[in-house]
């Protein structure tokens, strides 16, 4: 994300999910050039880890060459806790349904910005790619 | 294609044969390992991920040679400005100078020159040096090991608690005829349950080209408590690279602070390895740069054991055409469950030509972890300036107050009051000087 | 000269938008004026322009205080004349303690008046005394300026600053916003305790309820960037019943 013009704004929200033996990497550059006064960027990358054999990497590069800019970056990691799973299952969900539910909650912030058809499709894809990851 | 540039190795084989402990296979292996790695990587360049933002231009361009003997030893010891210390260890151009030092008399605390320990082949020292270092990312640390020669060894015995800080002052001289590089080396061994406050100060002449390539290796015993404060206030034309490494076994605690205020190109790198369960580390710092200085703070925290906690807060002020760099990597190993690793970096740019580059990095292989990092950069808040102005404070004072407060917050995290005050005073002096300029 | 605040035909814009369209207002020394009005009428803009907050363009008219033309003055110079703004949203300044902040402000104001710095002990005594009258716990003085303060604490802290800095004219910019009734009572008591023949107040508020506790001498209604009606405390009570509908429709 390269800010060249004045008063430009950008937001990056990345949600990474790693399950099984997979590794997931976010690598992102935010650069504000001299002259891009008033530039604002907010970037956020959240990782969700399912299981203890997977990995998450977050490598943000934040480079600013103007004082009149505001750049913020936040990253968090989360996992699906046993308590969350138990609650869902106690209420009648299978563990796969529970994972899908929790994962969809995790992705909601980005998926809800998609047009309806894509969002539904994306949700299904997330569900399929996580099949068999728990249990 | 990147050409590997490896200055400073002229006549290396002949020189190495004259260094202390040359007859000890373990020590020659350490040196050979350093030399081999430095040869294969060369001076840092942006293709080395850990050196993406910082180039040692003077080392690339000028014919540096190893700093010689004590040509002109300084008569005043320019330390951190602490009133009371348990000991003050002075290194000049990397060499231990007992005449300038104030050595401890307390039981269970010992100081020796690294040269004498190498000559004696002391096990603790040999085992503490260069543990598990990734030299591919640290060519300057490799170079320092190739020339492993002198420095200081500080040992605190099991259960001994040193009440006052021990200060290590590494001073450099500048040779007007030819630029020189010194390799100050510190080895610290803390026994089980021992407690120590260690202050490292790096300084040199205000003007004159020189370089420092310092390495500090720290080994801690179980349950030991270390406060480790680093002050880098080198001269304006200095190239400074320093590396600290510390391993934390079970229940050990580490509190670190890195204050960088000087140098033309300065980099301090701190690596903490959390190898024992329940170990805790806090690593904070502040930096300020002006002119065309480059100030780099790089940290790496490896969470190897479960239930370990680290917390990092760094703040910087960049003025003029200066460039500030913060790189912080938190690496959580497989099975290092229930760990907490947080890092935060805030930078203020005071000038249109200043630059800040920030790379907070997470590499996580365990799922039950709480890791976060945050980074902000911007200018002084106009709203805060106006609030102060509206209460009658003039704009210059208002800005100065806010800058002082910005850095001041970090000094409050230094639990050793005398060091907190001394560091705040150094930073405020820097701000005052900037104000007057 | 002490003829108070005199605003003549003041016109103010933000960007291309004219917010204040010719304000005429005189606040005499020792008098309490209130400015009421619907949201977006320009109340806060007026408070900000009087105190010199950046970001506004004065396109016409004048503001004088005790005979000084203030429009060309820096905010701190206006403060030195005795103008005080109690912020609607007090700013948090991490790292600066309340005590240090007030000490710097007091001494800056003294310097501007050609007086010597206040002795630190005398300052602390003054501060403690004022904090006590406002029922502020002493540890609040040592905390960082407004950081982690509740809404009520922030507003009480503004009152403390007012008490310590002892201005000639205090502008209260929607000090009641976000406060519950108990907090409003405390803030109002703080203001009332400081009413004096040589001190005037300009109380800006959306609601009448603050004026139940700080009874104004004069009430103005600001709508669409103009003062559309002026009266006494009864005007505020009438507005409580009728609302601002009659002003908002007449665009």
Sheet holding C32-36, edge to edge: C83-86, C169-173, C200-205, C32-36, C218-223, C226-231
Strand, coil or helix: what is A33?
coil
Q: How confident is the model at residue B70 (pLDDT cuts 50, 70, 90)?
A: low
Query: Is some CB atom of chain C closer than 8 A to the CB atom of B364?
Result: no
Beta bridge partners of A46: A15, A76
Q: Count the domains in chain C.
A: 1
Task: Give me the phi and psi of B257, to 5 degrees please.
Answer: -145, 135
A-interface mutation test, from B352, B364, B406, most A Cβ less than 10 A away: B364
Can you tell me the distance from the alpha carbon of B86 to that of B84, in angstroms, rounded to the nearest whole number?
Answer: 7
E-assigned strands of chain C?
Answer: 5-14, 17-27, 32-36, 57-65, 68-69, 83-86, 93-97, 144-145, 169-173, 200-205, 218-223, 226-231
User: Are residue B42 and residue B156 in the same domain, yes or no?
Assistant: yes
Cβ–Cβ below 8 Å for B372 and A64: no
Q: Could you tell me which residue, C189 or A131, shows the higher pLDDT?
A: C189
Nearest CA in chain B to A55: B365
pTM, full prediction: 0.84
Per-residue pLDDT tens over the stretch B84-130: 999 999 999 999 999 999 998 889 999 999 999 999 999 999 999 99
CA of A116, closest CA in chain B: separation in Å? 32
Round the average pLDDT of chain B to a whole number and report it.
93
CA of B151, closest CA in chain A: separation in Å? 36
Can you tell me the distance from the alpha carbon of C173 to that of C91, in angstroms, rounded to the nearest whole number?
Answer: 13
Pick from B393, B406, B408: which is nearest to C104 by CB?
Answer: B393
Average pLDDT of B176-204? 96
Predicted local confidence at residue A91, as pLDDT: 73
Burial of B305 (0-12, 13-18, 19+ CB in 10 A): buried
Can you tell me the distance from the alpha carbon of B167 to that of B179, in angstroms, rounded to the nearest whole number?
Answer: 27
Per-residue pLDDT tens over the stretch B309-339: 999 999 999 999 999 999 999 999 988 888 8
| Token reading at B189 | 């061994």
User: Are residue B256 and residue B385 in the same domain, yes or no?
Assistant: no
* Mean pLDDT lowest among C1-5, C147-151, C247-251: C247-251
The answer to whether residue B292 is domain-embedded is no
pLDDT at B202 over 50: yes
Strand, coil or helix: what is C164?
helix
Average pLDDT of C96-119? 87
pLDDT at B1 over 60: no
Per-residue pLDDT tens over the stretch B356-378: 999 999 999 988 888 888 888 88
CATH code of C147's domain: 3.40.50.300
- CA-CA-CA-CA torsion for B123, B129, B132, B138, nearest 10 degrees? -160
Host domain of residue B400: 381-437
User: Are residue B391 and residue B264 in the same domain, yes or no?
Assistant: no
Neighbours of chain A (3+ CB pairs under 8 A): B
**Last residue within a domain, chosen from B254, B276, B298:** B276
The answer to whether residue B318 is domain-embedded is no
Can you tell me the distance from the alpha carbon of B302 to that of A118, in angstroms, rounded to the nearest whole number?
Answer: 40
**Last residue within a domain, chosen from B226, B247, B276:** B276
Neighbours of chain B (3+ CB pairs under 8 A): A, C
Query: Which helix (H) or strand (E) is A95 found in, with range?
Result: helix A95-111
Query: Is some CB atom of chain B closer than 8 A to the CB atom of C65?
Result: no
Average pLDDT of A33-50? 90
* Mean pLDDT lowest among A68-82, A90-104, C75-89, C200-214: A90-104
Query: Is some CB atom of chain A closer than 8 A to the CB atom of B383?
Result: no
Pick from B355, B360, B375: which is nearest to A65 by CB?
Answer: B355
C203 with C34: CB under 8 angstroms? Answer: yes
CA distances for B362 relative to A57, B126, B273, B366, C211, angstroms: 5, 32, 15, 12, 55
Cβ–Cβ below 8 Å for B384 and C91: yes
E-assigned strands of B319-379?
Answer: 323-332, 339-349, 355-364, 369-378
**Last residue within a domain, chosen from B226, B256, B276:** B276
User: Are residue B386 and residue B242 in the same domain, yes or no?
Assistant: no
* Mean pLDDT lowest among A53-67, A69-83, B152-166, C124-138: A69-83
Host domain of residue C135: 5-250
Average pLDDT of A92-101? 76
Can you tell me the distance from the alpha carbon of B107 to that of B157, in angstroms, rounded to the nearest whole number?
Answer: 9
Q: Count the domains in chain B.
A: 2
Predicted local confidence at residue B268, as pLDDT: 98
Query: Hey, CA dihedral for B385, B387, B392, B393, is it positive or negative?
Result: negative
B-interface mutation test, from C74, C75, C87, most B Cβ less than 10 A away: C75
pLDDT at B14 over 60: yes
What does chain C come to in residues? 251
């Amino acid at each position: 994300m390269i800010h060249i013009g004045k008063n430009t704004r950008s937001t990056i929200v990345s949600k990474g999910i790693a399950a099984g033996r997979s590794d997931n990497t976010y690598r992102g550059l935010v650069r504000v050039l001299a002259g891009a006064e008033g530039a604002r960027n907010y970037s956020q990358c959240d990782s969700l880890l399912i299981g203890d054999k997977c990995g998450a990497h977050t490598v943000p590069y934040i480079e600013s060459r103007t004082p009149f800019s505001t750049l913020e970056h936040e990253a968090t990691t989360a996992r699906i806790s046993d308590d969350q799973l138990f609650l869902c299952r106690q209420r009648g969900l299978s563990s796969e349904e529970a994972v899908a539910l929790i994962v969809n909650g995790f992705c909601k912030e980005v998926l809800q910005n998609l047009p309806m058809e894509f969002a539904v499709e994306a949700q299904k894809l997330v569900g399929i790619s996580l099949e068999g990851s728990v249990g | 294609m990147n050409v590997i540039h490896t200055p400073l190795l002229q006549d290396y084989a002949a020189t190495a044969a004259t260094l202390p402990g040359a007859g000890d296979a373990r020590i020659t292996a350490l040196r050979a390992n350093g030399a081999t790695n430095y040869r294969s990587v060369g001076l840092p360049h942006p293709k080395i991920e850990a050196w993406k933002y910082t180039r040692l231009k003077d080392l690339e361009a000028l014919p540096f040679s190893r700093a010689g003997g004590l040509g002109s030893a300084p008569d005043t010891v320019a330390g951190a400005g602490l009133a009371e210390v348990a000991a003050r260890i002075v290194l000049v151009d990397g060499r231990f100078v007992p005449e300038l030092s104030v050595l401890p008399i307390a039981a269970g605390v010992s100081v020796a020159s690294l040269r004498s320990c190498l000559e004696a082949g002391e096990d603790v020292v040999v085992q503490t040096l260069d543990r598990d270092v990734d030299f591919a990312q640290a060519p300057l640390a490799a170079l320092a090991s190739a020339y492993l020669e002198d420095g200081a060894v500080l040992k605190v015995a099991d259960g001994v608690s040193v009440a006052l800080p021990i200060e290590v002052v590494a001073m450099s001289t500048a040779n007007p005829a030819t630029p020189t590089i010194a390799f100050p080396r510190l080895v610290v061994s803390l026994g089980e349950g021992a407690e120590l406050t260690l202050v490292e100060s790096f300084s040199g002449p205000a003007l004159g080209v020189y370089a420092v390539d310092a390495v500090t290796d720290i080994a801690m015993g179980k349950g030991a408590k270390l406060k480790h404060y680093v002050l880098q206030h080198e001269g304006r034309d200095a190239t400074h690279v320093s590396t600290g490494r510390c391993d934390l076994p079970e229940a050990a605690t580490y509190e670190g602070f890195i204050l960088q205020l000087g140098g033309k190109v300065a980099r301090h790198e701190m690596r903490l390895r959390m190898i024992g369960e329940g170990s805790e580390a806090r690593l904070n710092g502040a930096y300020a740069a002006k002119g065309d200085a480059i100030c780099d703070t790089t940290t790496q925290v490896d969470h190897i054991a479960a239930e370990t906690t680290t917390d990092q807060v760094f703040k910087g002020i960049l003025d003029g055409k200066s460039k500030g760099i913060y790189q912080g990597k938190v690496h959580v190993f497989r099975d290092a469950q229930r760990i907490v690793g947080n890092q935060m970096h805030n930078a203020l740019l005071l000038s249109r030509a200043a630059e800040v580059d920030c790379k907070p990095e997470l590499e996580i292989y365990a799922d039950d972890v709480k890791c976060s990092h945050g980074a902000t950069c911007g200018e002084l808040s106009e709203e805060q300036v106006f609030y102060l102005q509206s209460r009658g404070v003039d704009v210059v004072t208002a800005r100065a107050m806010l800058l002082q407060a910005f850095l001041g917050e970090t000094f409050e995290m230094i639990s050793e009051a005398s060091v907190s005050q001394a560091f705040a005073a150094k930073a405020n002096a820097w701000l005052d000087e900037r104000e007057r300029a | 000269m002490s003829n108070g605040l005199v605003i003549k035909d003041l016109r103010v814009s933000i960007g291309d938008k004219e917010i204040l369209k010719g304000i005429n207002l005189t606040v005499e020394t020792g008098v309490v004026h209130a400015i009421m009005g619907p949201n977006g009428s320009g109340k806060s803009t007026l408070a900000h322009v009087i105190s010199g907050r950046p970001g506004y363009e004065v396109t016409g008219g004048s503001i004088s205080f005790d005979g000084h033309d203030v429009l060309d003055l820096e905010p701190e110079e206006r403060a030195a004349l005795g103008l005080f703004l109690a912020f609607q949203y007090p700013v948090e300044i991490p790292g600066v303690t309340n005590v240090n902040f007030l000490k710097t402000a007091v001494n800056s104001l003294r310097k501007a008046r050609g007086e010597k710095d206040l002795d630190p002990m005398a300052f602390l005594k003054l501060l403690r005394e004022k904090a006590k009258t406002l029922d502020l716990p002493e540890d609040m003085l040592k905390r960082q300026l407004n950081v982690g303060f509740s809404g009520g604490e922030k507003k009480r802290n503004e009152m403390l600053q007012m008490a310590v800095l002892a201005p000639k004219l205090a502008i209260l910019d929607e000090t009641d916003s976000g406060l519950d009734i108990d907090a409003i009572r405390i803030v109002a008591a703080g203001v009332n305790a400081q009413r004096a023949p040589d001190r005037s107040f300009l109380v800006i508020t959306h609601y009448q309820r603050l004026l139940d506790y700080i009874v104004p001498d004069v009430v103005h209604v600001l709508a669409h960037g103009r003062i559309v009606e002026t009266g006494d405390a009864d005007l505020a009570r009438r507005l409580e019943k009728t609302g601002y509908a009659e002003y908002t429709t007449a665009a």
